[in-house]
Amino acid sequence: MTQNGHVESSTVRVKRGLAEMLKGGVIMDVVTPAQAEIAQEAGAVAVMALERVPADIRAQGGVARMSDPRLVKEIMAAVSIPVMAKCRIGHFVEAQILEALGIDYIDESEVLTPADEENHVDKWKFRVPFVCGARNLGEALRRISEGAAMIRTKGEAGTGDVVEAVRHMRAVSQGIRRLASLREEELATAAKELGASLEMVREVSSTGKLPVVNFSAGGIATPADAALMMQLGCDGNFVGSGIFKSGDPLRRAKAIVQATTYFDKPEILAEVSEDLGEPMVGISTSSLRPEELLAVRGI
Amino acid sequence: MPTTGARVGVLALQGDFREHMRLLESCGASVVPIRLPEELTGLQGLVIPGGESTTMSRLIGTAGLLEPIQEAVAGGMACLTTCAGTILAAREIRDGLPGQIHLQILDIAVRRNAFGRQLQSEEVELDIPAVGRPPVLVAFIRAPAIEQVGEKVEVLVTYRSQPAAVRQGRHLALTFHPEITGDPRLHRLFLATL
């Protein structure tokens, strides 16, 4: 029996490592401590502490910002699972505040109104890990090179329409498959096209996967949606408005957790999809005006 | 350390079960993911991975896996548990949620998130005599602590003055993640006893 030796905190491995522990799980948006407790009870692997879910941000308009630190602290106190919170794209001071609160993960999110239309947060400067949204491989690799320790598809948050999440997950996977098929001398051009470093493009080309965990997000509202995203190759699901904008949140949340685990077992999916009450109403993404799309923010 | 053709299950309800499967396969084990009770038959070992212990506890409950796992253990199946898996395998969970299922395989008492939140997560080199030199590089991620061990439990290494790897018979329980850093020696130690 001996004592431990060299110790290093907040390393890349530790930051990416927490996301590894979340795999196969569901991260749920919550706006109150009571909702956080319901999410934990349902089997969420983490909660995202917010003032308004994306569906309400969409409906109410105005500038969407980081949540009140008091609300974030109350939610952190209410549950023992990891708690995430969102900062605006490029708003490194909101990120500093969330880190000071001791949050477990920061989502630099297009769901909030961007604070900087050119630059994202330099995430390497932080001890807390970050998750960022992406619509395709180039966006994912650019966020990872800025220090993101986890990626999620952007989808189109607050719609309950899974179509954009599917589009983005397929785009990321196709991008990876394409890189894996290229010859060594073709990778420099690919890196230029993707706006990513050659080093990272080489890594993805040889491993055939992203160097970080990739969840899906943005429009997942049913157990079938969650299983669809898992079958398309994501590592887990974020569910925002889909749970607490539905008729029976606890029941639906439990069903989405089950569907994420048993994503390839249609009999179980049929069983858990039964009798869930009203889903969130939803908005078809194709009916949105271009200026109403959130996914085009922060590319 | 010899490789083995042992048949080993990895509880695949949630968490980093794929990393465990990859490591075990590289050690020569025949590995199967476990999500349903009927998949437990014929296993010599079971790995309970890292993940979120409350989530895995709920999924063990709904899948009806609690008793089948306990029966298989009583029938001689050995367990390797990491982090959340060690919480689930403990006799006592301090600060557990009401109604949290636990398997009570190991005579240990654990405390969840004993070292704090993610900002307190660390990479550490552990000197574990049972696997030899050099030290094993591992990750502690929102790790639990083993606060109490029974008479039959052997402590293999401590971290911040508390047991971090313990052995009880053929069961091996860790509060950290060797599967994240990829060092296979603890998995080999486990497989060698099957």
Question: Does B155 reach chain A within 8 Å, measured CB to CB?
Answer: yes
Q: Which residue of B has its CA nearest to A76?
A: B117
Instruction: Say what the pLDDT of residue A4 is.
Output: 56
Residues of A with CB under 8 A from a CB of B: 1-11, 13-14, 17-18, 20-25, 40, 42-46, 80-82, 99, 102-105, 127-129, 254, 257-258, 260-262
**What's the domain range around B34?**
7-191
How does pLDDT run across B76-119, given as a tens digit for each residue? 999 999 999 999 999 999 988 887 888 999 999 999 999 999 99
Mean pLDDT, rounded, for A216-239? 97
Distance from CA of A24 to the nearest CA of B (A): 5
Rounded CA separation B136/B147 (Å): 22
Sort out which chain B residues have CB atoms less than 8 A from A104's CB and list them.
117-118, 142
* Residue indicated by tokens 């630190």: A69
CB atoms within 10 A of CB A241: 25
Quick one: CA dihedral A230, A232, A233, A235, positive or negative? negative
Concerning whether B102 is annotated as a catalytic residue, the answer is no
Cβ within 8 Å, pair B123-A11: yes
How does pLDDT run across B27-55, given as a tens digit for each residue? 999 999 999 999 999 999 999 999 999 99
Alpha helical stretches, state H, B27-172: 53-63, 66-74, 84-89
Looking at residue B32, which CATH number applies to its domain?
3.40.50.880
Residues whose CB falls within 8 Å of the CB of residue A70, separated by 6 or more in sequence, listed in order: none
Instruction: Look at chain B and report how many structural domains it folds into.
Output: 1
Residue A214 has pLDDT above 50, yes or no: yes
Cβ within 8 Å, pair A18-B159: no
Would you say A201 and A187 are in contact if contact means Cβ atoms under 8 Å apart? yes
Beta strand extents in chain B (DSSP E only): 7-11, 30-34, 45-48, 78-82, 90-94, 106-111, 122-126, 136-140, 145-149, 154-159, 162-168, 171-174
B67: helix, coil or strand? helix
Cβ within 8 Å, pair A1-B158: yes
The reply to whether B2 falls in a domain is no
Alpha helical stretches, state H, chain B: 17-26, 53-63, 66-74, 84-89, 178-181, 185-192
The reply to whether B1 falls in a domain is no
Instruction: Say what the pLDDT of residue B1 is.
Output: 45
Question: What are the beta bridge partners of residue B167?
Answer: B154, B172
Crossing angle of the two packed helices A187-194 and A163-181, in degrees rounded to 10: 160
Instruction: Say what the pLDDT of residue A5 is.
Output: 66
Q: Which residue of A has its CA nearest to B57?
A: A43
Q: Which residue of A18, A127, A260 is in closest CB contact with B142?
A: A18
Mean predicted lDDT score pLDDT of chain B: 94
Q: Which residue of A has its CA nearest to B111?
A: A80
The reply to whether B59 falls in a domain is yes
Instruction: Give the ipTM.
Output: 0.95
Cβ within 8 Å, pair B126-A4: yes
The reply to whether B69 falls in a domain is yes
Question: What are the beta bridge partners of residue B41?
Answer: none
Residue A1 has pLDDT above 50, yes or no: no
Cβ within 8 Å, pair A40-B117: no
Would you say B93 and B102 are in contact if contact means Cβ atoms under 8 Å apart? yes
Indicate the pLDDT class of residue B4, thresholds 50, 70 and 90: low
pTM of the model: 0.96
Question: Does B133 reach chain A within 8 Å, measured CB to CB?
Answer: no
Rounded CA separation A31/A296 (Å): 25
How does pLDDT run across A247-274, given as a tens digit for each residue? 999 999 999 999 999 999 999 999 999 9
List the catalytic residue out of B27, B79, B83, B102.
B83
How does pLDDT run across B160-178, given as a tens digit for each residue? 999 999 999 999 999 999 9
Helices (H) and strands (E) in chain A — how many of each? 13, 9
Question: Does B46 reach chain A within 8 Å, measured CB to CB?
Answer: no
The reply to whether B166 falls in a domain is yes
